[in-house]
Amino acid sequence: MSLLLEQLVNGVIIGSVYSLIALGFSLIFSILEVINFAHGSILVMGTLIGLVVLQRTNFWVGLLIAALASGLLGALVEKAAIYPLRLRRAPLGAQFISTIGAGMMIDIAALVIFGPKTRPFPPSLPATQFALGPVRGSVVELAILGVSLGLMALLQVLVNRTRFGKAIRATVQNPRAAAMFGVDVDTVNTLTFALGSALAAVAGMLMGVYYNMADLGTGFLAGMKGFVAAVFGGIGSIPGAVLGGLALGVAEDIGATWLSSYRDAVAFIILIVILLVRPQGILGHPERQKV
């Protein structure tokens, strides 16, 4: 398999995970117009909880519990660190700072509960390798891609076809009007936060099986990369988040061949360049529909 093709495949796989994280950012941003800085911390907490469950059951149960736990945590963050500020009409900057505070608290809680050690992820999916034409892959990689793409499709259906999705879209368009037409905006805010957080935990679990480990440090970086992916694609846009994640994954893999030790810097450089050159991202329309 040629190097470029291999980089492309690897990039797409890890990129699909970034997409999931980015989706969480984008969902929350499109509803609340705030960057949830605690996203990475929620991801780690969910992943570590999922890992404990996984060790006693199997990967899929672990995945489910991780998503549920993170969803709950996300709802809590919204209620504790966002809602009181919205009630007082605090500026968005203050809400952002408040999520930084929430992130710090979750980080420390995770440290106290799970300890500072890097935890190995037990091999929980079959290690079978296979070849598809010139592309070689493993079941793990297939599962990652399948879960990510499946969730993205599911999210698209959720937003476009369900009552909850309709409430979300109405809130994005105009929260006050939505409230007048009977949408419980507070609940939509909380549930969207929960949904975005659950996606982050799924991404965390997928990264766990991919790298065979999970630790506290991954949260910050994963959160930053998800944010970069979201901004890359155009924050607030679902297809943008997907595309941004994939693009970041590939860019990182290619960038790493030249700047091996600066792999993680690629994301930050992309971030700075994108925000300066095209702040609305690849697919973003500053004023158009956001979800």
Partner 1 sequence: MRANPTGLRRRTRAGKVSAAGYLTALRKGVGPLAVLLALTFPFLVSQYLVHLGVLISIYTILTLSLNLVSGYAGQLALGHAAFYALGAYASALLTLSGHPFWLGLLAAGVVAALGGLVVGLPSLKSSGFYLGMITLGFGEIVKLVLLNWDSLTRGPMGLTNIPPAKLWGYTFGSVASFYYLALLILALTAGAVHRLVNSRVGEALVAIREDEVAAKAMGIDTGYHKVLAFTVSGFLAGLAGSLYAHYISFINPASFGSGESFLIVSMTLLGGASLGGSALGAATLLLVPEVFRALADYRLLFYGAVLILLMVFRPNGLIPERRLRYRGILERLRGAEPVSGRDSGAGPGYRAPAEEG
Contact set with partner 1 (CB under 8 A): 34-35, 80-81, 84-85, 88, 90-98, 100-109, 111-112, 220, 224, 227, 231, 261-262, 264-265, 268-269, 271-272, 275-276, 279
Shortest Cβ 24–partner 1 spacing (Å): 16
8 Å CB contact between 194 and 74: yes
Nearest partner of 6 among 142, 134, 165, 102, judged by Cα: 134
DSSP bridge pairs for 132: 135
Characterize the bridge pairing of strands 119-120 and 213-214: antiparallel
Shortest Cβ 76–partner 1 spacing (Å): 12
Sign of the four-CA dihedral 169, 239, 197, 80: negative
Nearer to partner 1, 93 or 182 (CB): 93
Cα 79 to Cα 72: distance, rounded to the nearest angstrom: 11
- Could you please report the per-residue DSSP string of 22-52? HHHHHHHHHHH----TTHHHHHHHHHHHHHH
Nearer to partner 1, 132 or 276 (CB): 276
Nearest partner of 80 among 29, 50, 42, judged by Cα: 42
Cα 9 to Cα 28: distance, rounded to the nearest angstrom: 29
Shortest Cβ 238–partner 1 spacing (Å): 20
Nearer to partner 1, 60 or 220 (CB): 220
Nearer to partner 1, 103 or 175 (CB): 103
Shortest Cβ 179–partner 1 spacing (Å): 22
Nearer to partner 1, 106 or 251 (CB): 106
Nearer to partner 1, 115 or 150 (CB): 115
Sign of the four-CA dihedral 254, 255, 257, 263: negative
Characterize the bridge pairing of strands 135-138 and 213-214: unpaired
The tokens 């105009």 sit on which residue? 174
Shortest Cβ 1–partner 1 spacing (Å): 29
Shortest Cβ 148–partner 1 spacing (Å): 24
Shortest Cβ 175–partner 1 spacing (Å): 19
Nearer to partner 1, 52 or 100 (CB): 100
8 Å CB contact between 225 and 267: yes
